[in-house]
Chains A and B, each alone.
Chain A
């Protein structure tokens, strides 16, 4: 044990601990905003519907698929990569977290007695 040194405390930016209580209090008071990706998704849908409508007015061609199905076609035909889809969102991290929640919803709780700690 004697050969393992103690870690030093991490440095923080100047006045960090003086300002932190105010930041936390302000955050605690704030109402939970609607996630940014919801707005991004709504904007994409509205834009899609708008283009679909405009297409109907200016071109007489029949529209074969909905904007959602069209987006799916782009993804499935690999014309849009994962990064392309994420870049449509204002907050890709929130979108990823949502995917992870859905994909891993049934994983075990974090702390379990049976778990391996070795």
Chain B
């Protein structure tokens, strides 16, 4: 049975059906939330942790959900924030000379069977890794997820003009990078 946002929200707001509502929320949105996180952090174990955190944060912050956006864009906002915070932390850790997460991700792209072993997929992932994280996120949301600029603006809290410019730059860089190889 497919449930819609209104049904999920009604269940979540009643103390008698709250747990059922939370389960419905997870079952409805777990795949897109996981995929958007995985595209950013690449490694399954990291994406798994962040997906779990996203739903738990959403559950705890439910009282602050005003219904001005859809559950989908609200969850994506939490998920993308989680992913960017995670990547930022990894970079700051490298400042303390423990590990270079960027190198780890590049090595993952080269060796992971999860990338299906297709040369063009590996090339594209490597090009994407050269972009700043937020530009990479905009590219994923627009090109891969095919979201509208309005939806991406809701998710990121950024103006449509800035998003268009960011996306344009990302596409140019990827095209250049792919044509050079």
Binding partners A and B? yes
Neighbouring A residues of B16 by C-beta, 8 Å: none
Count residues of B near A (Cβ-Cβ below 8 Å).
57
Contact A3 B135 (CB under 8 A): no
Shortest CB–CB separation between residue A50 and chain B, in angstroms? 31
Bound together, the chains give a CA A72 to CA B96 distance in angstroms of: 18
| Cβ-based interface call for B111 (8 A) | no
Contact B171 A4 (CB under 8 A): yes
Bound together, the chains give a CA A16 to CA B113 distance in angstroms of: 17
Q: How many A-B residue pairs have CB under 8 A?
A: 107
The listed residue (A83, A104, A117) touching B166 by CB distance below 8 A is A117
Name A1-38 residues within 8 Å CB distance of B: 1, 3-13, 16-17, 20-21, 23-25, 27-28
Contact B81 A20 (CB under 8 A): no
Bound together, the chains give a CA A21 to CA B39 distance in angstroms of: 21
Interface window among A52-60, A63-71, A93-101 = A93-101
Take A12-B34, A17-B30 as given contacts and tell me if A4 and B178 are in contact as well, using a CB distance cutoff of 8 Å. Answer: yes
Contact A21 B30 (CB under 8 A): yes
Nearest neighbor of B44 in chain A, beta-carbon distance:
A12
| Cβ-based interface call for B1 (8 A) | no
Contact B23 A25 (CB under 8 A): yes
Q: Kindly supply a per-residue 1/0 record for chain A positions 78-118, scoring 1 wherever the CB is within 8 Å of any chain B CB and 0 otherwise.
A: 00001100000000000011011001100000110101011
Take A110-B85, A118-B165, A118-B169 as given contacts and tell me if A21 and B96 are in contact as well, using a CB distance cutoff of 8 Å. Answer: no
Contact A8 B116 (CB under 8 A): yes
Shortest CB–CB separation between residue B22 and chain A, in angstroms? 7
| Cβ-based interface call for B174 (8 A) | yes
Contact B158 A117 (CB under 8 A): yes
| Cβ-based interface call for B114 (8 A) | yes
**Which residues of chain A have a CB within 8 Å of any CB of chain B?**
1, 3-13, 16-17, 20-21, 23-25, 27-28, 82-83, 96-97, 99-100, 103-104, 110-111, 113, 115, 117-118
A-B contact pairs, 23 of them (CB 8 A): A3-B175, A4-B171, A4-B175, A5-B120, A5-B121, A6-B143, A7-B124, A10-B38, A11-B114, A12-B44, A17-B34, A20-B30, A21-B23, A21-B30, A25-B26, A96-B98, A104-B92, A110-B84, A111-B81, A117-B138, A117-B163, A118-B135, A118-B166
